[in-house]
Structure 1
Amino acid sequence: MTETPQDPVEAALRLRASDADREKVAGLLRDAYAEGRLSPVEHEERLAEVYAATTYAELVPVLHDLPVPPGVLTLPGMSNAVALTQPAQVAVPGTGRGLSVDPARADQAQGVAIAVWSGVERRGAWVVPETQVCVAVMGGIELDLSEAVLTARETTFTVFALMGGVEVVVPEGVAVRMDAVGFMGGTAGPADIAPPGAPSIRITGLAVMGGIEVKRPKNKGAKAISGS
């Protein structure tokens, strides 16, 4: 049986980080704090994570939403900067596509979807803001994130559906938290669990005689759970 070649980036991330690596990342956090990108609490929390990190896989995530110049932090045996310095890719099993996270594209995001006696549909490589607002009044909204570009590791969808429906397709490997409630309506989301450190989608809001549903692409077989 032929063994599957190991991803060189994944293998490098498992290597142990040095004191010099930790100090380099700590310096980037101090710069971000001085520029007002991190609050005092965030700065202290991330510094604690840095000094507790033993591998690159534990060290890299603390910089996930900060602008890191290419080449500042490199992986052993690789000439390119770690994936952190570029949009992070989240693989979608069974396809050649992926959902990416790129904070630098926040100004390109489409932040509001409104359907009143009408419909709204977004697919392909559209840019999703950190907070997405959806309003469906006797209409429908369909948002497919399979090839979308997120602008934050944690994205919140604030949804209101009145005698209408909102459907969000979220690829495998992305966490989903359903906090929306239904009043004479319903909410549902996938029950599967995403891997640690995965980007997350939180759904909050209200469905009145309507529905809010989050599902995986092409019904991969994940069971649905009620969020109400």
Structure 2
Amino acid sequence: MGENQQPAPFRPHQLRVSHDEREAVVERLNTAAAEGRIDFSELEARLDRALNAKTYADLAPLTADLPQEVPAEPLVLKGGMNGATRTGRWRVPAQITVYGGMGSVKLDFTQTECRLPEIAIEAHGQMGGVTIIIPDGWVADTSEMDQGLGGFKDKTTSERLPRTPRIRLAGDGGAAGVVIRHPNSWERRVQRRNHER
């Protein structure tokens, strides 16, 4: 390079996008259509452009006129004396901390609609224990969990469906233990009944 030659200016919009970044835009467009912000024909056109996008410059205009999704605040759940549960439809944040306390904590994701690629959960079994229930198709990375006295049980499968979160679970079993699992047969029956209503 000669003395007077300047390097080409860095243009972030020319960087290549990843599959996950394309998928995130597809999810945002589908949500916008479900909310009535864009009609079906426009959704189809934007999805086609999103799936064929090569750079950030290709992707950015597709969601520029849509409101940004506000991430949920981190959740801290404490079992205390009487226990605590988070079940049904609830907004899932990217970070969750649970303390079993004396009464235990149950964290049930089976009816949530979560578009996050990853959820970090810090679980401490303490005296009451913690139970985490994730839908089929979600996977859990539990390599950071410490058994504690109560132990830790991972009863999940390793088959991950597309566009589902990965749970990164850390913490310790405490005295009562921590369990992460998929729904049991009774919970599946309840789910089916709720869907039929």
Task: Report TM bin, short chain.
Answer: 0.5 to 0.7
What is the DSSP-based 3-state SS (H/G/I as helix, E as strand, rest coil) of the residue aligned with 1:158? Answer: strand
Q: Which has the higher contact order (CA 8 A, sep 6+)?
A: 2
Matched, 1:120 2:76: no
1:77-156 superposed matches below 5 A = 79=44, 81-82=46-47, 104-107=69-72, 109=73, 111-150=75-114, 152-156=116-120
What is the DSSP-based 3-state SS (H/G/I as helix, E as strand, rest coil) of the residue aligned with 1:201? Answer: strand
Unaligned runs of 5+ in 1: 1-26, 32-43, 50-57, 72-77, 86-102, 221-228
Distance in 1, Cα, partners of 2:120 & 2:139? 12
CA separation of 1:80 and 1:126: change in aligned 2, threshold 3 A: farther
1:180 aligned partner, one-letter code:
M
- Does structure 1 conserve the Cα–Cα contact (< 8 Å) formed by 2:147 and 2:173? yes
TM-score by length of 2: 0.60
1:206 aligned partner, one-letter code:
D
1:54-93 superposed matches below 5 A = 58=19, 61-65=20-24, 79=44, 81-82=46-47
TM-score by length of 1: 0.53
CA separation of 1:133 and 1:162: change in aligned 2, threshold 3 A: same
Q: 1:128: how far off?
A: 1.2
Matched, 1:212 2:195: no
Alignment partner, residue 30 of structure 1 = 13
What is the DSSP-based 3-state SS (H/G/I as helix, E as strand, rest coil) of the residue aligned with 1:127? Answer: coil
Distance in 1, Cα, partners of 2:28 & 2:107? 30
Distance in 2, Cα, partners of 1:174 & 1:191? 8
Distance in 1, Cα, partners of 2:100 & 2:149? 15
- Does structure 1 conserve the Cα–Cα contact (< 8 Å) formed by 2:83 and 2:101? no
What is the DSSP-based 3-state SS (H/G/I as helix, E as strand, rest coil) of the residue aligned with 2:153? Answer: strand
Q: 1:191: how far off?
A: 3.6
Alignment partner, residue 193 of structure 1 = 159
**Structure with greater Cα Rg:** 2
Q: How many residues align?
A: 147
Alignment partner, residue 131 of structure 2 = 167
Unaligned runs of 5+ in 2: 1-10, 34-42, 51-67, 187-197
2:178 aligned partner, one-letter code:
I
Q: Percent identity?
A: 19
2:140 aligned partner, one-letter code:
V
Q: 1:177: how far off?
A: 1.3
Q: Cα deviations across residues 179-218 of structure 1 (Å, max 9, x unaligned)?
A: 3112212111114322466421111101221211111112
Matched, 1:180 2:163: no
Q: What is the alpha-carbon root mean square deviation over aligned residues? A: 3.6
